[in-house]
Amino acid sequence: MIGNNLKKIRESKNMSQEYVAKALNISRQSISKWENDRVCPDINNLKSLSMLYKVSIDELVGNSIEEERQPDHTEKVSKELVEMLLAVAVMLASTLIPPIGIAAAAVIFVKTRKNSYPKIFYILCLICFLVNIYNCYIIMDSLFFKFGIVTIQ
Protein backbone atom coordinates (compact mmCIF):
# COMPACT_ATOMS: atom_id res chain seq x y z
CA MET A 1 0.00 0.00 0.00
CA ILE A 2 2.68 2.51 0.99
CA GLY A 3 4.91 1.06 -1.68
CA ASN A 4 2.46 1.82 -4.48
CA ASN A 5 2.22 5.43 -3.32
CA LEU A 6 5.99 5.77 -3.08
CA LYS A 7 6.41 4.38 -6.59
CA LYS A 8 3.65 6.55 -8.10
CA ILE A 9 5.03 9.70 -6.52
CA ARG A 10 8.62 8.89 -7.54
CA GLU A 11 7.54 8.21 -11.12
CA SER A 12 5.39 11.36 -11.22
CA LYS A 13 8.51 13.35 -10.25
CA ASN A 14 10.48 11.60 -13.03
CA MET A 15 13.07 10.25 -10.60
CA SER A 16 14.81 6.89 -10.81
CA GLN A 17 15.34 4.55 -7.88
CA GLU A 18 19.07 5.16 -8.20
CA TYR A 19 18.64 8.94 -7.99
CA VAL A 20 16.45 8.67 -4.88
CA ALA A 21 18.87 6.18 -3.29
CA LYS A 22 21.81 8.53 -3.84
CA ALA A 23 19.85 11.52 -2.50
CA LEU A 24 18.97 9.60 0.69
CA ASN A 25 22.37 7.87 1.02
CA ILE A 26 20.86 4.39 0.96
CA SER A 27 20.97 1.47 -1.45
CA ARG A 28 18.76 1.17 -4.51
CA GLN A 29 17.59 -2.20 -3.18
CA SER A 30 16.11 -0.45 -0.13
CA ILE A 31 14.02 1.76 -2.41
CA SER A 32 12.91 -1.33 -4.32
CA LYS A 33 11.92 -3.11 -1.09
CA TRP A 34 9.87 -0.09 0.01
CA GLU A 35 8.08 0.15 -3.32
CA ASN A 36 7.32 -3.60 -3.36
CA ASP A 37 5.97 -3.48 0.21
CA ARG A 38 8.59 -5.90 1.53
CA VAL A 39 9.86 -3.36 4.06
CA CYS A 40 8.43 -0.08 5.31
CA PRO A 41 10.68 2.98 5.45
CA ASP A 42 11.32 4.41 8.89
CA ILE A 43 10.09 7.86 9.87
CA ASN A 44 13.43 9.53 9.10
CA ASN A 45 13.42 8.13 5.58
CA LEU A 46 9.78 9.15 5.12
CA LYS A 47 10.71 12.67 6.16
CA SER A 48 13.61 12.70 3.69
CA LEU A 49 11.38 11.32 0.93
CA SER A 50 8.72 13.94 1.58
CA MET A 51 11.31 16.71 1.31
CA LEU A 52 12.80 15.18 -1.85
CA TYR A 53 9.41 14.65 -3.53
CA LYS A 54 8.01 17.92 -2.13
CA VAL A 55 4.88 16.22 -0.79
CA SER A 56 3.58 15.67 2.72
CA ILE A 57 4.22 12.49 4.67
CA ASP A 58 0.46 11.91 4.66
CA GLU A 59 0.51 11.74 0.88
CA LEU A 60 3.47 9.35 0.95
CA VAL A 61 1.64 6.90 3.19
CA GLY A 62 -1.62 7.20 1.25
CA ASN A 63 -3.64 9.72 3.24
CA SER A 64 -4.69 12.16 0.56
CA ILE A 65 -5.13 15.71 1.79
CA GLU A 66 -7.70 16.34 -0.97
CA GLU A 67 -9.94 13.61 0.42
CA GLU A 68 -9.82 15.17 3.88
CA ARG A 69 -10.68 18.63 2.60
CA GLN A 70 -13.65 17.64 0.45
CA PRO A 71 -16.88 18.85 1.98
CA ASP A 72 -19.28 16.18 2.99
CA HIS A 73 -22.74 15.77 1.53
CA THR A 74 -24.45 17.77 4.26
CA GLU A 75 -22.32 20.84 3.53
CA LYS A 76 -23.26 20.62 -0.15
CA VAL A 77 -26.95 20.23 0.66
CA SER A 78 -26.89 23.11 3.14
CA LYS A 79 -25.17 25.35 0.58
CA GLU A 80 -27.82 24.51 -2.02
CA LEU A 81 -30.56 25.12 0.54
CA VAL A 82 -29.14 28.53 1.43
CA GLU A 83 -28.92 29.44 -2.27
CA MET A 84 -32.49 28.33 -2.86
CA LEU A 85 -33.83 30.25 0.15
CA LEU A 86 -31.93 33.35 -0.93
CA ALA A 87 -33.43 33.08 -4.42
CA VAL A 88 -36.93 32.71 -2.92
CA ALA A 89 -36.36 35.77 -0.72
CA VAL A 90 -35.20 37.83 -3.72
CA MET A 91 -38.20 36.71 -5.78
CA LEU A 92 -40.68 37.54 -3.03
CA ALA A 93 -39.07 40.91 -2.35
CA SER A 94 -39.01 41.70 -6.05
CA THR A 95 -42.80 41.40 -6.24
CA LEU A 96 -42.89 44.75 -4.43
CA ILE A 97 -41.17 46.41 -7.39
CA PRO A 98 -43.09 45.08 -10.43
CA PRO A 99 -40.84 46.00 -13.40
CA ILE A 100 -37.72 44.78 -11.62
CA GLY A 101 -39.61 41.77 -10.29
CA ILE A 102 -40.37 40.51 -13.79
CA ALA A 103 -36.68 40.57 -14.67
CA ALA A 104 -35.62 39.13 -11.31
CA ALA A 105 -38.03 36.18 -11.50
CA ALA A 106 -36.98 35.44 -15.09
CA VAL A 107 -33.26 35.66 -14.30
CA ILE A 108 -33.58 33.48 -11.20
CA PHE A 109 -35.56 30.90 -13.17
CA VAL A 110 -32.95 30.75 -15.95
CA LYS A 111 -29.95 30.70 -13.58
CA THR A 112 -31.36 27.90 -11.42
CA ARG A 113 -32.48 25.56 -14.20
CA LYS A 114 -29.25 23.54 -13.85
CA ASN A 115 -29.82 22.94 -10.14
CA SER A 116 -32.02 20.18 -8.84
CA TYR A 117 -34.37 22.32 -6.79
CA PRO A 118 -37.81 20.99 -5.87
CA LYS A 119 -40.65 21.66 -8.29
CA ILE A 120 -42.32 23.94 -5.76
CA PHE A 121 -39.41 26.36 -6.23
CA TYR A 122 -40.11 26.65 -9.94
CA ILE A 123 -43.85 26.96 -9.31
CA LEU A 124 -43.13 29.79 -6.87
CA CYS A 125 -40.89 31.41 -9.47
CA LEU A 126 -43.70 31.26 -12.03
CA ILE A 127 -46.22 32.65 -9.52
CA CYS A 128 -43.91 35.57 -8.70
CA PHE A 129 -43.45 36.24 -12.41
CA LEU A 130 -47.22 36.27 -13.00
CA VAL A 131 -47.86 38.47 -9.94
CA ASN A 132 -45.28 40.94 -11.24
CA ILE A 133 -46.93 41.02 -14.66
CA TYR A 134 -50.31 41.62 -13.03
CA ASN A 135 -48.85 44.38 -10.83
CA CYS A 136 -47.32 46.03 -13.89
CA TYR A 137 -50.69 45.88 -15.62
CA ILE A 138 -52.39 47.52 -12.61
CA ILE A 139 -49.79 50.29 -12.52
CA MET A 140 -49.99 50.89 -16.28
CA ASP A 141 -53.78 50.87 -16.13
CA SER A 142 -53.98 53.39 -13.32
CA LEU A 143 -51.32 55.71 -14.75
CA PHE A 144 -52.04 55.72 -18.46
CA PHE A 145 -55.19 53.97 -19.54
CA LYS A 146 -57.62 54.69 -16.73
CA PHE A 147 -59.78 51.76 -17.77
CA GLY A 148 -62.57 50.99 -15.36
CA ILE A 149 -62.94 54.57 -14.15
CA VAL A 150 -66.23 56.16 -15.10
CA THR A 151 -66.94 59.81 -14.45
CA ILE A 152 -70.51 61.02 -14.66
CA GLN A 153 -71.20 64.71 -15.15
Burial of 21 (0-12, 13-18, 19+ CB in 10 A): middle
pLDDT of residue 72: 62
User: What is the mean predicted confidence (pLDDT) over 90-103?
Assistant: 86
pLDDT of residue 148: 63
Q: How much of the chain exceeds pLDDT 70, in percent? A: 90
In this prediction, residue 68 has a pLDDT band, given cuts at 50, 70 and 90, of low
What is the distance, to the nearest Å, from the Cα of residue 62 to the centroid of all Cα atoms in its chain? 24
More confident residue, 57 or 71: 57
- How many of the other CB atoms lie within 10 Å of CB of 1? 9
pTM, to two decimals: 0.45
